[in-house]
Amino acid sequence: MTNIKPSLYDFTLKELSQKVKPSFRAKQIYGWLYHQYAQNFEEMKNIPKNLKEELSQTYVINPMKIIRKEESSDGTIKYLFELQDGKTVEAVWLKMKDDIYEDGKLIQEAKYTICVSTQVGCKVGCTFCLTAKGGFTRDLTAGEIIAQVVNLKRDNNHKHNRKINIVYMGMGEPLDNLDNLAKAIEIFKEEEGLAISGKRQTVSTSGLSNKIDALGKMDLGVHIAISLHAVDDELRTELIPMNKAHNINSIIEAVKRFPIDTRKRVMFEYLVIKDKNDDLESAKKLVKLLSGIKAKVNLIYFNPYPGTPYKRPSYEDMHNFQEYLIKHGLLSTIRDSKGIDISAACGQLKEKTEKEL
């Protein structure tokens, strides 16, 4: 097995300053990691040779490598990474808005979001999720979470100081890996690094109510998105078996306690599945359920994959559902299906690659 070493991405600037002396070298190294996207110690031109040799004996810079990627016609790029222990995870580069030109001049650059994984596999076991089929292997380290973003920014020539949004929505349940997640959030926020503020980071959870409370108490300034997907416990338990331990009511109460920027809304993700939760009676119950919460509902078309029993809803039913919510005072959007022509469902590129080996 490969000799597994910790990554320099695992450390905050303060921690690195305690390991590297004199401490100003840590700031220089941070610049190479996050501003120059250095991939090896030799690239760090202003770092003494003996320090680089010392660091290379104990640490790696990049704890993963890109082994496959697929690009959609809409600009979405799905990446498959291999970790030091041979395990694989996915991340996605999402183009949210195009460049805007006026009189031939670029007045606003395109906007991007990176969807990252937090675990190899997942414990939650959602019946609609391809990742769940492989079970749970292990948590990702903070450095492995960080590395996904650095790799994607480098691969897309995205300068360190260009704005980017991060969603913890890939493989795994982020709150099941809370300590490493929280550390990654803090490292992303480092002014000497990528300087990605908490308001540009969104943690998506299937609803671990006790850990929603724990994340809230950390006061990291991040947004939270709840993968709700159902309006009654019976259907939600079918879709998300973990609902037996963290039912809808416990999640709603935890959300009400979560520290929210008063200018922002709590995002509720609602995966719309044909003949399961796409009817107007469900829309009516959803309006009642979220009453009293400054909420926004993101309706998501179910993305079919080989072997799933679930089906994509019709365009008409999707829009009728949205119109009902809006008419009854609940802000709602329909998420554009990104990467529909590639391995778009989370875990699909990983499974495809494994079958081909």
Which amino acids are annotated catalytic?
90, 346
Give the whole-angstrom CA distance, residue 63 versus residue 6. 8
Two tokens, residue 72: 């959609």
Give the whole-angstrom CA distance, residue 296 versus residue 334. 11
Give the whole-angstrom CA distance, residue 221 versus residue 198. 5
The answer to whether the beta carbons of residues 274 and 316 sit under 8 Å apart is no
Q: Is the Cα dihedral 300, 307, 243, 120 positive or negative?
A: negative
Of the candidates 171, 157, 87, 81, the one whose C-alpha atom is nearest the C-alpha of residue 129 is 171
Known binding residues: 122, 126, 129, 172-173, 204, 227-229, 303
Specify the 3-state DSSP secondary structure of 131: helix
Known binding residues for S-adenosyl-L-methionine: 172-173, 204, 227-229, 303
Give the whole-angstrom CA distance, residue 36 versus residue 43. 9
Three-state DSSP string of 190-251: CCCCCCCCHHHEEEEECCCHHHHHHHHHHCCCCEEEEECCCCCHHHHHHHCHHHHCCCHHHH
Q: Is residue 21 exposed (0-12), middle (13-18) or buried (19+ Cβ within 10 Å)?
A: exposed
Two tokens, residue 180: 């490493």
Give the whole-angstrom CA distance, residue 254 versus residue 31. 39
Q: Is residue 217 exposed (0-12), middle (13-18) or buried (19+ Cβ within 10 Å)?
A: exposed
Q: What angle do CA 180, 135, 155 make, to 5 degrees?
A: 55
Q: Is residue 99 exposed (0-12), middle (13-18) or buried (19+ Cβ within 10 Å)?
A: exposed
Known binding residues for [4Fe-4S] cluster: 122, 126, 129
The answer to whether the beta carbons of residues 17 and 26 sit under 8 Å apart is yes
Q: Which residue has 């982020």 as its token pair?
A: 174
Specify the 3-state DSSP secondary structure of 121: strand
Of the candidates 293, 303, 357, the one whose C-alpha atom is nearest the C-alpha of residue 331 is 293
